[in-house]
Amino acid sequence: MREIEFRAKTVKNVRWIYGDLFKTGTDPSDEEWAIGYWDDESGWMNEQVQPDTIGQYTGYQDSMNVRIFEGDIVNVHLHEYDMVGRFSTKTDLKPYYRALVSYNERMCKYELLFEQNEQFNGTSHIVSCEIGWGHEQFLVVGKYIDDPFPLEKDRQQR
C-alpha cells in the first residue's frame, strides 16, 4: 500500500510538521489547511499550516534513504545519460544537476524540473523528467520554500 503523508510549515511557530492534511475552513474557497499528527507527549495534534508550504510525499527515497517530498530540491547525479535519458558521449557533463520536485497535475505524476543554461546552446529553459527515473541517484539538498532554487546562487557564482 502507498504511504500518503504531507508536510508543511506551521502558521504559529513556523516549523515543519508531517502528517495528514485536511481543510479547516467551512467555505470551500477558503485556503485554510491543517496537518494532524501524533505527538508522544500531547497525543493527537492539529496545527494550521501555511498553504504555500504544503508538499506531499512522493513515495520515493533518495540515496541516503531520505523521503522525497514535493517541493524538495535534489541533486541528480548524471553519469552516462544526458537530460533526456539518452546515452551521452559528452565529456563536459556536470557530475550532478539540481532539480525541483514538482507535481504535474495535467500528467498526474511527480517530475523533476531542471533549469538548464549550458547544455542547450546557452539558452535557459526548464527540462522535466519523471521522478521515478533513477531516483536512487538523487540526494535531497533542501526545500524550495526555505531556499528558493539554489540554481540562482550557482548562476551568480559563475
pLDDT tens-place values along the chain, 158 residues long: 678 999 999 999 889 999 999 998 788 778 899 999 999 999 999 999 999 999 999 988 888 889 999 999 888 876 554 455 554 545 555 567 788 888 888 888 888 887 654 443 344 445 556 666 555 578 888 888 887 655 455 444 43
How many domains, the chain?
A: 2
63 and 45 inside one domain: no
149 and 75 inside one domain: yes
86 and 132 inside one domain: yes
67 and 136 inside one domain: yes
130 and 144 inside one domain: yes
**DSSP codes of every residue in the chain:** -----EEEEBSSS--EEEEEEEE--SSTT---EEEEEEETTTEEEEEEE-GGG-EEEEEEE-TTSPEEETTEEEEEE-SSB-TTS-B---S---SEEEEEEEEETTTTEEEEEEEESSSSTT--EEEEEETTTTGGGEEEEEETTTSS-THHHHHHH-
* CATH at residue 148: 2.30.30.290
